[in-house]
């Protein structure tokens, strides 16, 4: 984007950079098909996306950046937005739906959902692991035991508590708070232990965002 003159380096805020890898993974193949197939140029795609930003469809799901309440404000304010209660949760079945049906059946027959979750947490927060879900499935079926340590303890948390912990931590790191790990939630120390394997804050944010994406954390409204 910078090289093409579409945007400058400072256009991408630090809080948004952690989402870029996810964007690339999800959209790159579609962009490549359009461009290499001479269906349209990259600049055309950008213009289309820009116009879509202001359609009714996107306005239902996306608030402008300057008016978007941070998730830490949402959660810390008794999980209320506009007088409505919002709970963030993790659906293990949604994660399982992304797995090969045969392997998914094996995991369910062994009642190994929490084991899978522990390995997915560990894999997502380990930069050397390129595909956390494939790694988690492999370790779950090969070993039959959880990841142990902090990842296993986080997997045992109620899913709403885990989702809340991840979102709070993400926003505190983005905001540059000192002592962000001491947020008084169960699991904060374990999450901190996993993240501290990386000293660079942007890398921590990228891995945390990868975990949030892999867990498909959504609001229950």
- Burial class of residue 219 (count of CB atoms within 10 Å of its CB; 0-12, 13-18, 19+): middle
Q: Are 159 and 126 in contact (CB under 8 A)?
A: no
- Segment among 32-46, 60-74, 114-128, 158-172 with least mean pLDDT: 60-74
Band (12; pLDDT cuts 50, 70, 90): low
Cα 219 to Cα 164: distance, rounded to the nearest angstrom: 10
Residue tagged 């392997």 (tokens): 103
Buried b (16+ CB within 10 A) or exposed e, 155-189: bebebebbbbbbbbbbbbbbeeeeebbebebebbe
**Is 39 strand, coil or helix?**
coil
Band (175; pLDDT cuts 50, 70, 90): confident
Annotated domain spans of the chain: 9-61, 71-220
Which among 121, 81, 127, 149 has a CA at the least distance from the CA of 212? Answer: 121
pTM: 0.62
- Segment among 123-137, 166-180, 207-221 with least mean pLDDT: 166-180
């Amino acid at each position: 984007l910078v090289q093409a003159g579409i945007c400058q380096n400072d256009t991408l805020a630090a809080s948004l950079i952690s989402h870029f890898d996810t964007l690339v993974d999800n959209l790159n193949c579609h962009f490549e098909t359009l461009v290499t197939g001479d269906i349209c140029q990259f600049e055309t795609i950008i213009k289309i996306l820009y116009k879509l930003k202001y359609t009714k469809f996107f306005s239902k799901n996306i608030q402008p950046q300057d008016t978007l309440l941070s998730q830490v404000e949402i959660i810390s304010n008794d999980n209320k937005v506009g007088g409505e209660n919002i709970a963030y949760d993790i659906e293990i079945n949604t994660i399982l739906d992304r797995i090969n049906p045969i392997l998914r059946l094996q995991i369910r027959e062994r009642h190994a959902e929490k084991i899978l979750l522990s390995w997915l947490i560990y894999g997502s927060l380990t930069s050397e692991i390129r595909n956390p879900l494939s790694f988690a499935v492999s370790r779950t079926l090969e070993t039959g035991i959880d990841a142990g340590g902090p990842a296993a303890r986080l997997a045992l948390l109620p899913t709403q508590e885990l989702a809340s912990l991840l979102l709070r931590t993400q926003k505190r790191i983005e905001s540059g708070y000192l002592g962000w790990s001491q947020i008084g939630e169960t699991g904060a120390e374990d999450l901190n232990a996993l993240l501290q394997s990386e000293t660079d804050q942007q890398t921590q944010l990228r891995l945390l965002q990868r975990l949030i994406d892999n867990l498909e954390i959504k609001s229950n409204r």
